[in-house]
Amino acid sequence: MAENLRARSAREVFDDHLRLAGEHRFDEDLERNLAPDCVILERRGVFRGRDGARELARLLSEELPDAPYTYANRLIEGRIAFLEWTAETENARVRDGADSFLIEDGWIVAQTIHYTVETK
């Protein structure tokens, strides 16, 4: 199965990542879609590997617990993908979520994340 996952196109990886993230299945998403040595740039700094991605998922979950995500715009060209998203909970919302991805050999190898949490 791992061989088939590595043969996926960038679009297939991107779609799988969005589906699993939207279902709050972060551990499965990390194992299937994030390269073990991925690099993620986010306002709090540089996060490396799956442990860094887990830390970011934990922070997002604290900021927006179980929030449904709305994917406002999805673009993909070759190995680069871009996502605009929003999310809202009873006490907070994000209206400016923007992520970019570099996808190679069936893995997300690099990602940037930007969002602003607004309290209600």
CATH of the domain at 112: 3.10.450.50
**pTM for the predicted model, two decimal places:** 0.91
**Closest residue by Cα to residue 112 from 13, 40, 43:** 40
**Looking at residue 4, what is its pLDDT?**
87
Domain that holds residue 35: 2-119
1-9 long-range contacts, Cβ below 8 Å, gap at least 24? 5/32, 5/106, 6/105, 6/106, 6/107, 7/106, 8/106
Q: Tell me: the pLDDT tens digits for 38-79? A: 999 999 999 999 999 999 989 998 999 989 999 999 999 999
What is the number of domains present in the chain? 1
Q: Kindly state the DSSP code that residue 67 receives in the 8-state scheme.
A: P
Distance of CA 54 to the CA centre of its chain: 11
